[in-house]
């Protein structure tokens, strides 16, 4: 193992600190600071996918707070780049594939009328792939439920399928993997969505 964080406990401690900073980041500047720290960790720990995953997630969180569509796309381009790198280090990783779907889903919001027809299918395909890789991944299920809900609303269809997927996602959050660096985000999103379900 190389780099500044050669000891696993130092690496995990540094990672946990920056992951929490992203989860708790109130604005773009706070999240960007954590992303910058994760970039340094990723440079030191070239064989680890987790720093790249959280850099990508951080850029998605920044993009959701960015009002300018062009700037949002630039953040999502960066998220995409690091997700591809993470995928090369950990192929067939359900969490990384779900993140790639999330990136596509947020990219769609820049211009829904133009991007929706193409990107909604791409996002659903990625969420489906993430669920196929790990049927217990609550983030993949929760994001899939979000896309199903958006499609149902667009077509004026019932929300039965999306609500069922969201319920399944919430159930999986209670049994999700609890390793120290495993992603934990998404539960609140699913709980919010379920408030619209009967």
* Average pLDDT of the chain to the nearest whole number: 93
Looking at residue 1, its pLDDT comes to: 36
78 with 134, same domain: the answer is no
At 100, phi and psi to the nearest 5?
Answer: -60, -40
Span 140-151, average pLDDT:
95
Place of tokens 């809900």: 149
For the cut 60, the answer to whether the pLDDT of residue 116 exceeds it is yes
**How many separate domains does the chain show?**
2
For the cut 60, the answer to whether the pLDDT of residue 89 exceeds it is yes
Place of tokens 């660096």: 181
Higher pLDDT: 6 or 59? It is: 59
pLDDT digits (tens, 9 = 90+) for 65-85: 999 999 999 999 999 999 999
What span, in angstroms and rounded, lies between the C-alpha atoms of 73 and 11? 31
What span, in angstroms and rounded, lies between the C-alpha atoms of 123 and 151? 12
* C-beta neighbour count of 154 within 10 angstroms: 11
123 with 80, same domain: the answer is no
Task: Note down the domain range covering 147.
Answer: 97-198
For the cut 70, the answer to whether the pLDDT of residue 190 exceeds it is yes
Last residue of a domain, one of 71, 91, 111: 91
Span 124-129, average pLDDT:
98
What span, in angstroms and rounded, lies between the C-alpha atoms of 127 and 186? 14
23 with 52, same domain: the answer is yes
pTM: 0.92
58 with 125, same domain: the answer is no
Q: Which residues contact 82 (CB under 8 A, 6 or more apart)?
A: 42, 52, 53, 55, 56, 59
* pLDDT band, residue 7 (cuts 50/70/90): low
For residue 118, give both structure tokens: 């193409």
Looking at residue 180, its pLDDT comes to: 77
43 with 65, same domain: the answer is yes
Q: DSSP labels for 20-36?
A: HHHHH--SHHHHHHHHH
Looking at residue 2, its pLDDT comes to: 42
């Amino acid at each position: 193992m190389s780099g500044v964080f050669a000891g696993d406990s130092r690496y995990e401690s540094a990672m946990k600190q920056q992951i929490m900073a992203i989860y708790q980041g109130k604005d773009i500047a706070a999240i960007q600071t954590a992303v910058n720290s994760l970039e340094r960790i990723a440079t030191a720990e070239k064989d680890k996918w987790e720093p790249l995953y959280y850099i990508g997630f951080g850029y998605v969180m920044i993009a959701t707070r960015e009002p300018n569509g062009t700037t949002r796309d630039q953040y999502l381009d960066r998220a995409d780049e690091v997700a591809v790198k993470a995928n090369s280090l950990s192929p067939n990783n359900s969490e990384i594939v779900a993140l790639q779907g999330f990136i596509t889903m947020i990219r769609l919001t820049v211009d829904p009328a133009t991007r929706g027809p193409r990107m909604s299918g791409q996002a659903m395909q990625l969420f489906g792939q993430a669920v196929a890789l790990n049927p217990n991944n609550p983030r993949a299920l929760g994001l899939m439920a979000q896309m199903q809900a958006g499609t149902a609303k667009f077509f004026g269809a019932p929300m039965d399928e999306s609500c069922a997927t969201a319920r399944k996602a919430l159930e999986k959050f209670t049994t999700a993997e609890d390793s120290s660096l495993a992603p934990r985000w998404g539960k609140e999103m699913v709980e919010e969505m379920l408030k619209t379900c009967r």
